[in-house]
């Protein structure tokens, strides 16, 4: 009894260490454009329009946006609260993993400290901060064969993002398959609970699809056409080492799922997300959804403590999983160190400069999507060429913020760039009489390096 109590205190200590690392990074983190976009949508739109109109352009079920709407309109939280809200969900997800997952403690701890779970989906405030929380809860109720609680976890998971929908569908299909295999032995009440839960899930999914279905003129997915990645580069990003090592790990996890008779969840969850990421839409920051799916698939397949397993199973599992997630912890340490020492986005610095020179009260033009992160630091839209503080993700809305064609010469032009495109823009601006007066650098960190820049350059009219 005493040993069990001591181990529980160890769990609490690990969670506190996790929370300390996350909250320390949040205190130094500058939100980038994608983080700011959700905040501004929630700030500036009525709840009904946010859910039933704008989500068609964000291609999102909208749970994150609704939470941010209540954060601002009910609790009147400032923009600085954004990443603290995200960190709260990340810490809750880690708590579910640390306290309730069936893995040995060393595996739970290394999973929680891995790059995507302690940094990308905890410090960076995007909908994906909720994946581990709701995915973990779904795994708990899946193992307990509790269809009523499971369906509510699945609906919440589906409401996070398209990635959550895919993982939730895999769990729903797996649970349905298990129920059908034992159907003759279930009593009337148990059958009724399964049928009622399935009905609730299907109705909820139809509603979520209606909300998130892309508008015909949506920009993000219309222009994406296909994800710019492949299986080899994806597994190389998820697993440390060369790509064939990642493929080997995926094959071993598949074999484990076959042994544990949970192949459906693994194939549909992990395989479905891999397919979506590679063939439809995905960036490096989406790869953590595949990692969460792997954790959840292992969770629902893991043997109970009282089940007999081969003598080699536990030590081999610890070596493989701690190796994979332990090396990801190295990525996490590197990313947090970067965030503490350098700006993730230059938006906060450039907003401070613009306020100091009064550019928010003059004719100021913002070029490119990154400037949405600048607008978030003001209580109004400061760019005369933007119809709203956020970016309406239609083809026409995105085109408007990318044009150098000014109806009237502005006092300032703020260029937010993510790659090497600044040279051509700078040349065009200099030709019409603008010169740079301020640079706010930003680097969006990923793993042990920089994924892309979010740097801002302010140009002033010379005449």
Alpha-carbon separation of residue 312 from 123, 257, 302, 315 (angstroms): 37, 17, 15, 6
- Pair type for strands 364-367 and 412-417: parallel
- Residue 94 dihedral angles phi and psi, to the nearest 5°: -65, -35
Residue 218 neighbours by CB under 8 Å, 6+ apart: 56, 57, 59, 393, 394, 395
Residue 258 neighbours by CB under 8 Å, 6+ apart: none
| Residue 4: how many other CB atoms lie within 10 Å | 7
Residue-level pLDDT at 221: 47
Residue-level pLDDT at 448: 84
Rg of the chain over all Cα atoms, to the nearest angstrom? 24
- Residue 214 dihedral angles phi and psi, to the nearest 5°: -65, 140
Please list the residues that pair with 412 across neighbouring strands: 364, 460
Do the Cβ atoms of 253 and 298 come closer than 8 Å?
A: yes
Residue-level pLDDT at 241: 82
Q: Give per-residue burial for 346-380: e unless 16+ CB within 10 Å, then b.
A: bbbbbbebbeebebbeebbbbbbbbbbbbbbbeee
Please list the residues that pair with 416 across neighbouring strands: 456
Q: For the chain, which ranges sit under pLDDT 50?
A: 221-226
- Pair type for strands 455-461 and 443-446: unpaired
What the block records as the tokens of 337 is: 């160190």
Residue-level pLDDT at 226: 46
The structure's pTM equals 0.95
Rounded distance between C-alpha atoms, residue 138 and residue 167, angstroms: 10
What the block records as the tokens of 119 is: 């940094």
Residue-level pLDDT at 316: 96
What the block records as the tokens of 104 is: 């040995």
Residue-level pLDDT at 424: 80
What HEC string does the chain produce?
Answer: CHHHHHHHHHHHHHHHHHHHHHHHHHHHCCCCHHHHHHHHHHHHCCHHHHHHHHHHHHCCCCHHHHHHHHHHHCCCCCHHHHHHHHHHHHHHHHHHHHHHCCCCHHHHHHHHCCHHHHHHCCCCCCHHHHHHHHHHHHHHHHHCCCHHHHHHHHHHHHCCCHHHHHHHHHHHHHHHHHHHHCHHHCCHHHHHHHHHHHHHHHHHHHHHHHHHCCCCCECHHHHHCCCCCCHHHHHHHHCCCCHHHHHHHHHHHHHHHHHCCCHHHHHHHHHHHHHHHHHHCCCHHHHHHHHHHHHHHHHHHCCCCCCCCCCCHHHHHHHHHHHHHHHHHHHHHHHHHHHHHCCCCCHHHHHHHHHHCCHHHCCEEEECHHHHHHHCCCCCCCCCCCCCCCCCCEHHHHHHCCCCCCCCCCCEEEEEECCCCHHHHHHHHHHCCEEEEEEECCEEEECCEEEEECEEEEEEECC
Pick from 150, 159, 153, 156: which is nearest to 208 by CA?
Answer: 159
């Amino acid at each position: 009894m005493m040993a069990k109590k001591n181990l529980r205190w160890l769990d609490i200590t690990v969670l506190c260490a996790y929370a300390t690392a996350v909250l320390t990074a949040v205190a130094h983190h500058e939100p980038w454009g994608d983080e700011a976009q959700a905040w501004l949508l929630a700030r500036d739109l009525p709840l009904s329009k946010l859910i039933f109109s704008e989500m068609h352009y964000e291609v999102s079920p909208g749970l994150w946006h609704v939470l941010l709407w209540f954060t601002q309109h009910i609790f009147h939280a400032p923009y600085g609260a954004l990443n603290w809200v995200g960190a709260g969900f990340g810490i809750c997800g880690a708590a579910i993993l640390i306290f309730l997952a069936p893995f040995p403690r060393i595996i739970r701890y290394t999973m929680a400290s891995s790059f995507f779970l302690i940094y990308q989906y905890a410090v960076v405030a995007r909908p994906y901060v909720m994946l581990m929380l709701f995915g973990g809860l779904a795994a708990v109720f899946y193992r307990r064969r509790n269809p009523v609680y499971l369906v509510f976890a699945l609906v919440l998971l589906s409401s996070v993002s398209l990635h959550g929908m895919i993982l939730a569908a895999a769990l729903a299909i797996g649970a349905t398959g298990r129920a059908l295999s034992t159907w003759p032995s279930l009593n009337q009440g148990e059958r009724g609970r399964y049928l009622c839960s399935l009905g609730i899930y299907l109705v909820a999914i139809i509603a979520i699809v209606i909300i998130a279905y892309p508008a015909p003129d949506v920009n993000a997915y219309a222009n994406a056409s296909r994800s710019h990645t492949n299986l080899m580069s994806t597994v190389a990003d998820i697993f440390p080492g060369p790509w064939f090592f990642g493929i080997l790990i995926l094959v071993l996890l598949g074999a484990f799922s076959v042994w544990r008779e949970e192949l459906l969840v693994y194939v549909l969850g992990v395989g479905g997300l891999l397919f979506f990421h590679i063939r439809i839409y995905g960036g490096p920051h989406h790869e953590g959804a595949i990692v969460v799916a792997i954790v959840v698939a292992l969770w629902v397949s893991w043997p109970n403590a009282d089940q007999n397993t081969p003598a080699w199973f536990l030590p081999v599992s610890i070596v493989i999983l701690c190796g994979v997630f332990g090396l990801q912890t190295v990525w996490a340490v590197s990313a947090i160190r970067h965030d503490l020492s350098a700006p993730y986005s230059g938006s906060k610095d450039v907003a401070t400069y613009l306020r100091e020179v009064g550019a928010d009260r003059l004719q100021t033009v913002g070029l490119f999507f990154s400037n949405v992160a600048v607008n978030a630091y003001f209580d109004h839209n400061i760019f005369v060429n933007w119809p709203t503080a956020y970016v309406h993700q239609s083809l026409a809305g995105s085109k408007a913020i990318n044009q150098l064609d000014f109806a009237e010469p502005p006092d300032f032009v703020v260029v937010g760039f993510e790659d090497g495109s600044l040279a051509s823009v700078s040349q065009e601006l200099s030709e019409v009489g603008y010169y740079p007066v301020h640079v706010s650098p930003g680097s969006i960190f990923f793993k042990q390096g920089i994924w892309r820049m979010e740097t801002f350059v302010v140009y002033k009219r010379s005449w």
